């Protein structure tokens, strides 16, 4: 989906001719730089130095659960309250708020899954310079220094992280406007614009009144700022760290860059038309979580603030060449490498969670304990999705559906974009083009397929539209600064924006998905929330005015949460309509920390360009690191039309990314998989089929992500944290820990070089079964049909190789187990099975450990209390790196023994056991003799 410009295309011919003038990129002028965002400019002007803040140790209170302590700013005597918590699972929470704010400051609700359970802090020592507290585990301590105030988190003699060590803590306290007594706004304006007079006033006053504190204008939009300046900022120093990751969403490399020579990374959910790659501009979603990693330790910072936020990163080694670093090392003169980070937010409070790892997995678990894990999607959602703006009418849907059958390509969901509605009124259908939606949905259901229809949060202002009338009559719309319903321009024309921050609004919204409310809907209709940044075509930066009101709070305070709430309410609606039985599937474009709990995200309106294909990897990897595993990019690219080669390569890449959906702009030529000649149809079919054979493995990864918060699509360093060669890799990735994928993302590629990690490991090409050693850069010659994928030696991966029309059709099919032996001739894997679509998985499922050691392959129950039975059986076992046995004995749970037939391919050392036939849900073992 697109920004408004895009969709109003027909009337924009001249504008585009002028504004694009041949180039094709985002119009950067529509979006603020740090300099144009007054709080960022103000805060960034503050340079490292001695902090004016001092801890008043005499105010310290230590209870079982927390430490509190006042801070004072010696420049203005404003006092802050510091709260320090030690949370379960090796997390330290630091909260800083005004001690006595003029009015309440916003604290982000609903993102944490609960009040994080605390553990006692104990006082180790105290003097007039500070206090030392124990964090319990592994001799970890927090040192609170009083003058100037700073926090150091230590382990042994090592500093893990320091806060305010560069003195950049800044807390703009709420204040009365000094000139409010002057009623005449004209006079006031004059005063502000008269530089000489302003300078005078500034001298007199204790605190400078700067431009933009009480009012700010960007382009023609003015932001009234009735609360005045309210920004917060804090710096974090990370000794020994050269690699930081996270803070999505940016179209940038996996490893974050230093920002000293440009703008900071910006977190402010925006609908960016034709976004540009490799820069720190804000995009559709924001997750204020950063991971820091070195070969010894991984830590994380979760800055819980939903206002516009900027993140500066600097490093003392950034400018140095490898040679320079070596020289430092040889000379022993090197200062420790260090990364410094600084967070700046426009309003709210400082509420930061310091996740102390020490392993990547620990950080994922720590973050998951705060914001929850990936929603466990219905199995079908892990299949292939066919989308286009737009499938024109029911007939079109039927014929595309038939096209998949004709060309024998599986798919699970076909999608409808905004044109399916009656005049962009969501929850309705175009009466001509989609006159009988239930008939259409039934047709899909007969094929065991499903549909997704778009429901955006902007509501057409139209008194003949039920949804609008109800929202208005319940006063559920966001209000403008003067108290009237906020109206903005979006697809339907003038639109209202429901206040999703209200729980009663969300409940009502959820109820609209009931089958009797959402006419034409059926249980195989799911939902897509787009434009939920929110996108407001005629608003500042194509979004909502910051002085719009959500009850007592300004939009400024909650902006980055809006999309999170929209998806939350929609997912709840899909759950409720089935009486709590069925798992929802909701795709969102905007997101925040915690959005993983509600469904999938995609990387928005990308383009049919090779660089966009490449960047899909780091973009989804970054999201995975901060909990959002269900990520994908529009296959083929949204804007523009891909070359056939690019389209094929994109399918091959997308088939190995968690959310696999093709999508295309309204104005592009059709690109269903069979429109590019039989050879390309075959290539695309093969890529999609590879996805479907691997569904059991994918589904198992989702189950794990849901249980543990580990990412599905992982950067290599997550599994090989001690191998610096992996730290900046973002052209290849792991799925779970057992599959390594290096998609071909170069035009006309003849080969790719993949780094295979693991000094003592081996990797098997999943297509040829050829074995390669780990810890090497491997050159792989490729053709147009190649998708370089490797299975880790030591793993067992279940597949279903009978690819059918849709995932549901494959439900009862048998499994083939791929056992890839490591040099120690062992392997481990899992098998997870449930009904694929209900919440019954909480109790009814099969979860088995498969392990191979001492020539014995066995399946043992990991969840003896769970109940589920399956018709699926094991049809084949393929052992890679095996030697030839003389015989193979299968022993089943009833004690029966039988001899299995096998094939042995000595050239590749592949042993294939023919049709063992046991049920996939029972205990068994297979002995090679």
Partner 1 sequence: MMTCQTPYILLLLCVGVSAVEVQRPRGVPLSKRQFYEENKPFTCLDGSRTIPFDRVNDDYCDCQDSSDEPGTAACPNGSFHCTNAGFRPGFIPSSRINDGICDCCDTTDEYNSGAACQNTCREMGRKERESLQKMAEITKEGFLLKQQLIQEAKRGLEDKKAKHSDVQISKKDLENMVEALRTVKETAEQPEKEAKERHLKAWEDQKAVIQMEKDKARMTEVFPELDDDADGFVSVAELLSHSELDPDSDGSFTEAEAQGLLGGVDQVDAVTFESVWNNIKEKYISESNADTPAPVETPTEEIREPASDNDSEQYPEDDIPDEEEEEEEEEEEEDDDQDEGDYKSPPTTQTQEKKDDDDEGTMPPYEQETQNLIDAAQKARDAFDETEKALREVDDQIKNLEKEISFDFGPSAEFAYLYSQCYELTTSEYTYRLCPFNRVSQKPKFGGSETNLGTWGHWAGPEDNIYSLMKYEHGTGCWQGPNRSTMIKVTCGKETVLVSTSEPSRCEYLMEFISPAVCQEPPNPDSALHGHEEL
Phi-psi region of 721 (alpha: psi -120 to 50; beta: other; left: phi over 0): alpha
Q: Which of 155, 408 has the CB closer to partner 1?
A: 408
Closest distance to partner 1 from the beta carbon of 220 (Å): 4
Q: What DSSP line would sit under 264-310, residue for residue?
A: PEEE-----TTPPSSS----S----EEEEE-SS-EEEEEE---S-EE
| Contact residues for partner 1, defined by CB under 8 A | 3-5, 8-16, 19, 27, 30, 218-221, 273, 392, 395-396, 408, 432, 446-448, 489, 537-538, 540, 542, 666-670, 801-805, 808-810, 813, 871, 873, 875-876, 914-915, 917-919
- Between 151 and 490, whose beta carbon lies closer to partner 1? 490
Output the DSSP codes for 92-156: EEEEEEESS-SSPPP---SSSSSPPPEE--EEEEEETTEEEEE-SGGGEEEEEETTTTEEEEEET
Closest CA to 734 of 698, 767, 760: 698
Active site residue 223: no
Q: Which is nearer to partner 1, 32 or 173 (CB)?
A: 32
Nearer to partner 1, 295 or 809 (CB): 809
Distance CA 713, CA 734 (A): 6
68 SS3 class: strand
Percentages (nearest 5) of helix, strand, coil residues in the chain:
25, 30, 45
CB of 265 to partner 1, least distance (A): 24
Closest to partner 1 by CB, 490 vs 601, is 490
Work out the angle at residue 730's Cα, subtended by the Cα atoms of residues 725 and 736, and round it to the nearest 5 degrees. 90
What's the start-to-end Cα distance of the chain, in Å? 58
Kind and range of the H or E element at 366? helix 360-371
Whichever of 448 and 891 has its CB closer to partner 1, that residue is: 448
Nearer to partner 1, 489 or 868 (CB): 489
Adjacent-strand bridge partners of 68: 61, 83
Closest to partner 1 by CB, 113 vs 666, is 666
CA proximity to 44, closest of 350, 340, 318, 312: 312
Specify whether the CB–CB gap between 666 and 640 falls below 8 A: no
Spatial contact of 918 and 924, defined as CB atoms under 8 Å apart = yes
| Rounded least distance, CB 692 to partner 1, Å | 10
The minimum distance between CB 641 and partner 1, in angstroms, equals 9
Residue 54: both structure tokens together: 């001092």
Residue 701 to residues 218, 571, 682, 711, 833, Cα–Cα distance (Å): 45, 21, 28, 8, 12
Helix (H) or strand (E) holding 577: helix 562-577
Q: Residue 728: how many CA atoms within 13 Å on its side-chain side?
A: 6
Smaller CB distance to partner 1: residue 100 or 871?
Answer: 871
Angle, helices 185-193/195-204, rounded to nearest 10 degrees? 90
Nearest distance from C-beta of residue 808 to partner 1, angstroms: 8
Closest CA relative to residue 63, chosen from 118, 120, 115, 116: 120
Q: How far is 401 from 409, CA to CA, in rounded Å? A: 10
Report long-range pairs for 172-175 (Cβ below 8 Å, ≥24 apart).
Answer: 172/39, 172/228, 172/229, 172/230, 172/231, 172/232, 173/76, 173/78, 173/98, 173/101, 173/102, 174/98, 174/101, 174/102, 174/103, 174/105, 174/227, 174/228, 174/230, 175/102, 175/207, 175/228, 175/229
**Beta carbon of residue 286, minimum distance to partner 1 (angstroms, whole number):** 21
- State the Cα–Cα distance between residues 626 and 711, nearest whole angstrom: 8
Closer CB to partner 1, 134 or 494, in the complex: 494
- Indicate the residue among 796 and 918 with the shorter CB distance to partner 1: 918
The owner of tokens 């359970």 is 117
Q: What is the closest distance, in whole angstroms, from the C-beta atom of residue 900 to partner 1 in the complex?
A: 12
What tokens does 298 get? 């991984």
User: Of the two residues 109 and 185, which places its CB atom closer to partner 1 in the complex?
Assistant: 185
Q: What's the CA gap between 614 and 277, in Å, rounded?
A: 10
Contact call for residues 415 and 400 (beta carbons, < 8 A): no
How many residues does the structure list for the chain?
A: 929
Cβ–Cβ < 8 Å for 282, 31:
yes
> DSSP string spanning 478-505?
PB-TTSSBPEEEETTEEEE-B-TTSHHH
Q: Which of 382, 406, 392 is nearest to 675 (CA)?
A: 406
Establish whether the linkage from the previous residue to 411 is cis, with ω within 30° of 0. Answer: no
**Which residue, 181 or 220, is less far from partner 1 as judged by CB?**
220
Query: Rounded to the nearest whole angstrom, what is the least distance from the CB of residue 430 to partner 1 in the complex?
Result: 10
Q: Residue 559 in contact with residue 268, Cβ under 8 Å? A: yes
Query: Exposure of 127 by Cβ count < 10 A (0-12 exposed, 13-18 middle, 19+ buried)?
Result: exposed
Beta carbon of residue 203, minimum distance to partner 1 (angstroms, whole number)? 35
- Choosing from 462, 530, 813, 834, the catalytic residue is 530
Choose the catalytic residue: 605, 634, 731, 813.
605
**Residue 530 annotated in active site:** yes
User: How near is the Cβ of 27 to partner 1 at its closest, in Å?
Assistant: 7
* Least Cβ distance, residue 793 to partner 1 (angstroms): 26
The set of catalytic residues is: 530, 605
């Amino acid at each position: 989906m697109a920004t408004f410009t895009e969709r109003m295309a027909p009337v924009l011919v001249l504008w585009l001719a002028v504004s694009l003038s041949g180039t094709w990129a985002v119009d950067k002028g529509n979006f603020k730089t740090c300099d144009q965002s007054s709080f960022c400019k103000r805060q960034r002007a503050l340079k490292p130095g001695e902090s004016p803040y001092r801890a008043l140790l005499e105010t310290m209170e230590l209870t079982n659960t927390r430490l509190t302590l006042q801070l004072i700013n010696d420049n203005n005597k404003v006092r802050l309250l510091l709260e320090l918590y030690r949370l379960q699972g090796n997390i330290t929470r630091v909260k800083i708020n005004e001690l006595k704010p003029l009015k309440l400051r916003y604290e982000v609700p609903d993102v944490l899954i609960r009040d994080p359970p605390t553990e006692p802090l104990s006082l180790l020592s105290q003097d007039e310079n500070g206090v030392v507290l124990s964090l319990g585990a592994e001799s970890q301590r927090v040192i609170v220094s009083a003058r100037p105030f700073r926090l150091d988190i230590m382990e042994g003699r090592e500093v893990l992280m320091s806060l305010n060590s560069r003195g950049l803590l800044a807390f703009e306290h709420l204040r009365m406007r000094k000139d409010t007594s002057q009623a005449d706004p004209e006079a006031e304006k004059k005063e502000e614009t008269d530089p000489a007079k302003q300078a005078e006033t500034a001298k007199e006053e204790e605190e400078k009144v700067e431009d933009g504190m009480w009012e700010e204008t960007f382009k023609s939009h003015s932001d009234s700022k009735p609360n005045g300046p309210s920004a917060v900022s804090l710096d974090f120093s990370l000794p020994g760290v050269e690699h930081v990751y996270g803070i999505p969403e940016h179209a940038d490399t996996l490893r974050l860059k230093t920002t000293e020579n440009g703008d900071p990374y910006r977190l402010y959910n925006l609908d960016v038309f034709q976004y540009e790659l490799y820069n720190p501009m804000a995009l559709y979603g924001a997750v204020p979580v950063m991971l820091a990693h070195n070969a010894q330790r991984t830590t994380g910072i979760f800055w819980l603030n939903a206002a516009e936020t900027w993140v500066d990163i600097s490093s003392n080694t950034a400018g140095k060449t490898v040679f320079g670093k070596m020289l430092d090392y040889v000379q022993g003169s090197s200062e420790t490498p260090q990364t410094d980070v600084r967070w700046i937010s426009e309003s709210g409070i400082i509420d930061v969670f310091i996740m102390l790892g020490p392993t990547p997995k620990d950080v994922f678990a720590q973050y998951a304990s705060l914001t929850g894990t990936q929603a466990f999607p219905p199995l079908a959602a892990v299949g292939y999705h066919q989308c286009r703006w737009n499938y024109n009418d029911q007939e079109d849907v039927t014929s595309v559906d038939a096209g998949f059958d004709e060309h024998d390509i599986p798919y699970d969901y076909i999608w409808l974009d905004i044109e399916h509605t009656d005049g962009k009124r969501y929850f309705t259908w175009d009466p001509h083009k989609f006159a009988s939606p239930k008939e259409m949905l039934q047709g899909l259901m007969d094929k065991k397929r499903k549909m997704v229809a778009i429901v955006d949060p902007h509501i057409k202002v139209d008194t003949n539209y039920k949804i609008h009338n109800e929202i208005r009559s319940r006063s559920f719309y966001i209000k403008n600064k003067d108290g009237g319903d906020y109206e903005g321009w979006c697809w339907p024309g003038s639109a209202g924006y429901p206040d999703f921050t209200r729980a009663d609004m969300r409940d009502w919204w959820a109820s609209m998905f009931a089958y009797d409310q959402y006419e034409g809907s059926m249980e195989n209709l799911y939902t897509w929330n787009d434009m939920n940044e929110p996108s407001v075509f005629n608003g500042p930066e194509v979004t909502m005015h910051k002085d719009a009101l959500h009850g007592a709070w300004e939009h400024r305070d909650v902006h980055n949460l809006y999309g999170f709430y929209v998806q939350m309410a929609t997912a709840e609606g899909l759950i409720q309509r089935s009486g709590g039985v069925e798992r929802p599937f909701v795709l969102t474009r905007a997101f925040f920390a915690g959005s993983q709990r509600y469904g999938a995200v995609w990387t928005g309106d990308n383009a049919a360009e090779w660089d966009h294909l490449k960047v899909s990897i780091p973009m989804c990897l970054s999201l995975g690191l901060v909990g959002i595993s269900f990520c994908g990019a529009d296959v083929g690219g949204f804007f523009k039309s891909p070359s056939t080669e690019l389209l094929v390569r994109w399918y091959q890449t997308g088939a190995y990314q968690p959310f696999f959906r093709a999508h295309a702009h309204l104005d592009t030529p059709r690109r269903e998989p069979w429109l590019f000649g039989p050879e390309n149809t075959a290539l695309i079919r093969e890529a999609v089929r590879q996805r479907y054979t691997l569904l059991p493995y994918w589904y198992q990864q989702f189950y794990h992500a849901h249980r543990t918060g580990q990412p599905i699509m992982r950067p290599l360093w997550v599994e090989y944290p001690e191998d610096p060669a992996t730290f900046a890799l973002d052209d290849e990735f792991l799925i779970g820990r057992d599959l390594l994928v290096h998609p071909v993302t170069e035009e006309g590629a003849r080969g790719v070089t993949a780094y295979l990690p693991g000094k003592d490991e081996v990797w098997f090409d999943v297509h040829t079964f050829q074995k390669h050693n780990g810890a090497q850069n491997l050159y792989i010659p490729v053709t147009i049909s190649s998708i370089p994928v490797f299975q880790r030696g030591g793993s067992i991966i279940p597949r279903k190789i009978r690819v059918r029309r849709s995932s549901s059709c494959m439900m009862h099919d048998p499994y083939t187990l791929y056992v890839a032996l490591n040099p120690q001739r062992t392997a481990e894997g899992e098998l997870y099975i449930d009904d694929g679509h209900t919440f019954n998985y909480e109790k009814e499922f099969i979860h088995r450990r498969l392990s191979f050691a001492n020539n014995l392959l066995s399946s043992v129950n990991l969840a003896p209390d769970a109940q589920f039975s399956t018709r699926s059986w094991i049809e084949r076992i393929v052992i890679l790196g095996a030697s030839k046995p003389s015989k193979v004995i299968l022993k089943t749970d009833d004690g029966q023994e039988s001899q299995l037939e096998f094939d042995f391919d000595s050239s590749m050392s592949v042993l294939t056991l023919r049709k063992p036939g046991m049920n996939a849900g029972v205990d068994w073992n297979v002995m090679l003799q």
